[in-house]
Amino acid sequence: MPSAEESPHRELGPPVPGEGEDGLYSQSWFPVCLSDELTAGSVVGADFLGGRVVAFRAAGGGEARVLSAYCVHLGADLSVGEVVGDRLRCRFHRWEYDGAGMCAVTGIGDPVPPGARLFRFPARERHGIVWAFNGERPTFDVPDLPYPQDELVFRHSVLDEAPFDPWLVTAQTLDLQHFGLQHEFTMEEDPKDAVSATDHSMGYPLRVSEPDGSRLDLRVDIHGTNIFWQTGTLDGRWFFWITALCPVRPGASRPVFVLGARREDGEEPPATEAFLDRAMELMMGMFADDAPVLTTIRFRPGMLTRSDDTLARFLEYVRRYPRANPARDFLT
């Protein structure tokens, strides 16, 4: 019988902090809702960073605003309220908030208490998504596409909550082994030496062939810890794919997918849609390949090898990535 000193044990590397650990979340841009959901004069509620937010648009249209969801009076959820002019009104006692989150009036005309405000998140509308930044000021911007929006055809999909943190999905991009092993792609060249990084992104060029002979020539990047950003060509035709994941609470994410292509001169709409169908099948097929692993894994870096060098680099990037939650007192 082996002694206690001889008992086997699992070798473990440094853990990767989970979203919501110590109440903190990555400081990144997160998808709140689709732009199409937020018509003029509407309000949309969404679970967000362990709490809840609302997005609303003034009755006359204009910019999307993202605020903490709970009225500072008694905590009513403002997503069941209404937009009155350019303000958001609580259904319970009719306190009204402007686009900056400041309480403008109380329902019965009492003076507004000093400091009566919601948390206002920096917000952007890009690529058909309303984004909110986890912080008081953004440290980077939502990336742009190389063509004007009116030249592009978009498709959007929002999935139900999934049982993993966003970085667990984006880590697959830097796990170079899994392209050949999991997805059976043939890599035309090893991108390991071409990986570039900033304080808020990592990525590389990727050239692979599918089992059916189709060729992908791509640039893939992770922005923040939660945005998979891919542009490039499928058999010579340009397209893009975005997977944006929002941590709704620790261990749970809401994935949003955006697929698009540029309209080609003289192309009939059915031909454009046929190309998008093909690109969608490819990208969702990759996600389906990964899903059985991602929904069951208990991720903890262990005995890595030299083939894991790029993945190890990304995990260290996630460990060091800025985390905060300045809205914590307002969200729950």
- Which H or E element spans position 90? none
- Are 224 and 284 within one domain? yes
User: Would you state the pLDDT for residue 81?
Assistant: 98
The answer, yes or no, to whether residue 3 has pLDDT greater than 70, is no
Determine the pLDDT at residue 252.
Answer: 97
For tokens 């790029």, what's the residue?
A: 310
CATH number for the domain including 160?
3.90.380.10
Q: Is a pLDDT exceeding 80 seen at residue 101?
A: yes
What is the H or E stretch that residue 201 is in?
strand 201-209
| Residue 167 within a domain | yes
Q: Is residue 95 part of a domain?
A: yes
- What pLDDT is attached to residue 63? 96
Which band of pLDDT confidence, cut at 50, 70 and 90, is reported for residue 247?
A: very high
Query: Is there a single domain that holds both residue 230 and residue 305?
Result: yes
Tokens of 34: 């689709």
**Total structural domains in the chain?**
2
pLDDT tens digits, one per residue of 279-312: 999 988 888 888 898 899 898 888 889 999 999 9
- Note whether 164 and 289 are same-domain residues: yes
The verdict on residue 5 lying in a domain is no
Is residue 49 included in any domain, yes or no?
yes
- Secondary structure (H, E, C), 62-84: CCEEEEECECCCCCCEHHHCEEE
Within a domain: 4: no
**Percent with pLDDT over 90 in the chain:** 80
Do 203 and 314 lie in one domain? The reply is: yes
CB atoms within 10 A of CB 209: 13
Q: What is the CATH number of the domain that holds 74?
A: 2.102.10.10
Residue 1 has pLDDT above 70, yes or no: no
Average pLDDT in the 73-99 region?
98
Q: Is residue 43 part of a domain?
A: yes
User: Could you tell me the residue range of the domain that residue 179 belongs to?
Assistant: 149-320
How many whole angstroms from its chain centre is CA 135?
15
- Please check whether residues 61 and 119 belong to one and the same domain: yes
